[in-house]
Structure 1
Amino acid sequence: MTRWQRRRRTAVAAVAVAAALTLTACGGQTDDRPEVDGTIIQPGKPGEPAEELDEAPVITPAAANAADVRFAQMMIPHHAQALEMGELAPSAGGSEQIRSLADRIVSAQRPEILTLAGWLDELGERAPTREQIESGDLPMPHAHGDHGGEGEAMMGMATEQQMAALRRARGDDFDVLFLQLMVRHHEGALEMISDVLTEGSDTQLGKLAAGMASDQGSEIDRMNQLLARMG
């Protein structure tokens, strides 16, 4: 079993534990996350329909610890690079499949950035403003290595050279490089999520992280299938 497979199995197990804890804390309430397609969806209570929201929902910190804060502060710039990658797709001349996938990633991760920033602000922790998020003026962490605080390397991040190559790429070359970089990017995110689900203590942040793991795990499978077809 590869290191990635071990980490993914850990993340899946942690998601299951987080879901069970959430059900207990909410008296049996489920957290079925509808697919994000550009509209922000708030799941309803059992037997009630989901709600369409105009903006990202606010999560109120409960009993956050250092692992929770570290995760939120790191995931914001991590997501920011995914947005930058995804926003290159419409003008790169690649396939409709890749443009659709990139749009899905951007549509899911932009509201997650807003939610994480709002959660940090509620705690009085360092967080970007809405204006910084909407303008894309976010600090970008270094690529490669293990993750940590500001200025340290972060798992799954593309290097400056890789991002420059992606900006230049067109057509099939863009599609292949986008998939390769985004698979690695998602794998890095799953490692970060696995850590917060095992070390963090805030239930609501755990629910958000578990949803991220489910979405990004599915997207990794889809991207690997597309790469296999491209040879």
Structure 2
Amino acid sequence: MTAYRTFVRRTAVAATAGAAALVLAACGSDKPAGGHDMGAKESGSRPAASTQADGHNSADGHDTTDAHNSADISFAKEMIQHHRQAVEMAELAEGRAASKDVKSLAAKIKGAQDPEIEKMSGWLTAWGEKVPADTSGMDHDMSSPMPDMDHDMSSSMPGMMSAGDMDELKKASGGDFDKKFLAMMVKHHEGAVTMGRTEKSDGRYGPATQLAADVVTAQTTEIEQMNKMLGKS
């Protein structure tokens, strides 16, 4: 009987010691049975911090949302007017130009700028802004403010031809037209490039700043082309 009691006590002590060891081992580690560190897993499950918060400016300083500012509105309104006059000038070339190269360039200008006018008009409509009235072809001085314009664009639309310039171009034909057209369109394009650079710098609406960049690139190339056609370096 004494031997049996001694055996029971030793068994109980061993069991207690084993349980205590398990408790201490559990307290000394954050790892679950699978061997993974819970702290590491919890930390690693957090998404990486975004480098660009929603609605904030991107690396180039332009907003990545559909937000727009006053510079975008001015750019769209003024470039629509600017493009319309360029298209009007280009349409004159078909029946007046002598050079096939001038006619080809004029068709290219019209083909590029007509869709851009539609695109910018769509932006203005979506923004709740008034699309400028189409005054191309009218006998007026586009370098002066018009009564139906929202504001005086005379200082913000560089390169625009006056009514006298347009009349002179309409009366010309053959080689004389070619020279006048190229000289006027170079000036017109230079104005568009200036406007495009302003929008790239001040605008917020991504599609507008991208269009401005496209205008600068395309029309700078066409300026170089026209200067060569005029015999300028």
Aligned match of 1:187: 190
Q: Secondary structure, in 3 states, of the residue corresponding to 1:228?
A: coil
Partner AA of 2:218 in structure 1: D
Q: Secondary structure, in 3 states, of the residue corresponding to 2:201?
A: helix
Higher relative contact order (CA 8 A, sep 6+): 1
- In the alignment, the residues of structure 2 paired with residue 139 and residue 202 of structure 1 have an alpha-carbon distance, to the nearest angstrom, of 34
Aligned match of 2:178: 175
Bigger shift: residues 67-76 or 200-209: 200-209
Query: For 1:213-224, what aligned pairs fall within 5 Å after superposition?
Result: 213-224=216-227
Query: Where is the strand percentage greater, Structure 1 or Structure 2?
Result: 1
Q: Secondary structure, in 3 states, of the residue corresponding to 1:87?
A: helix
Is the counterpart of residue 166 in structure 1 residue 169 in structure 2? yes
- In the alignment, the residues of structure 2 paired with residue 159 and residue 93 of structure 1 have an alpha-carbon distance, to the nearest angstrom, of 20
Bigger shift: residues 170-179 or 196-205: 196-205
Aligned match of 2:152: 151
Q: Deviations over 1:168-227 (max 9, x none)?
A: 101010000000000000000111111111111111111111111111111001001101
Aligned match of 2:103: 99
Query: For 1:1-231, what aligned pairs fall within 5 Å after superposition?
Result: 21=60, 62-128=66-132, 142-143=142-143, 150-153=151-154, 154-228=157-231
Larger radius of gyration: 2
The number of residue pairs the alignment matches comes to: 171
- In the alignment, the residues of structure 1 paired with residue 97 and residue 85 of structure 2 have an alpha-carbon distance, to the nearest angstrom, of 20
Long gaps (5+) in structure 1: 1-19, 26-60
Q: Deviations over 1:118-174 (max 9, x none)?
A: 01111001115xxx76x96899773289xx963331210111111101001010100
Long gaps (5+) in structure 2: 1-58
Two-structure CA RMSD over aligned residues (Å): 3.2
TM-score by length of 1: 0.66
Q: Deviations over 1:79-111 (max 9, x none)?
A: 000011000001004210000000000000000
- In the alignment, the residues of structure 1 paired with residue 141 and residue 125 of structure 2 have an alpha-carbon distance, to the nearest angstrom, of 20
Q: Percent identity?
A: 38
Aligned match of 2:27: none
- In the alignment, the residues of structure 1 paired with residue 161 and residue 202 of structure 2 have an alpha-carbon distance, to the nearest angstrom, of 26
TM-score by length of 2: 0.65
Partner AA of 1:150 in structure 2: H
